[in-house]
Amino acid sequence: MKISFILAFILLCISIYGISVSKNIIKSIMLYNIIQSSVIIIFLNFGSIGASDIPIISELSENTANMVDPLPQALMITAIVIGAAITALGLMLSIKIFHYYGTLNWKDLIEREG
């Protein structure tokens, strides 16, 4: 098992705990980004288990059995783009919430609406 997989899993657990106890919207958005990054690292590690060569076929590559699967890499690039769009949307909504309510505290917002 790779050390990057273990570190990504530890980072995922810490971020999930952080998002569950966070009181600020901006901190929650940043912890979401950390969760997304650690999940991407975990998926990329799963895609490269037991393989060592880059997924480019040329005259020099004789053995295609040891190639890394390119599908997880393509999916994770898509996940990065979608995550960036969701982060931008979340930050924009947090600015609107701050202008309307004057706070970014989750508990204060729930009390004002409830």
Please report which confidence band the pLDDT of residue 62 belongs to, taking 50, 70 and 90 as the band edges: low
Look up the pTM and report it.
Answer: 0.81
Asked whether residue 67 carries a pLDDT value surpassing 80, the answer given is no
CB atoms < 10 A from the CB of 35, how many?
A: 19
- pLDDT computed for residue 114 by the predictor: 72
Please report which confidence band the pLDDT of residue 86 belongs to, taking 50, 70 and 90 as the band edges: very high
- pLDDT computed for residue 72 by the predictor: 82
Q: Going from the N-terminus, what domains does the chain have, and what CATH number goes with each?
A: 3-49+70-113 (1.10.287.3510)
CA distance 1 to 86: 32
**Phi then psi for 49, rounded to 5 degrees?**
-70, 120
Residue range 64-73: mean pLDDT, rounded: 75
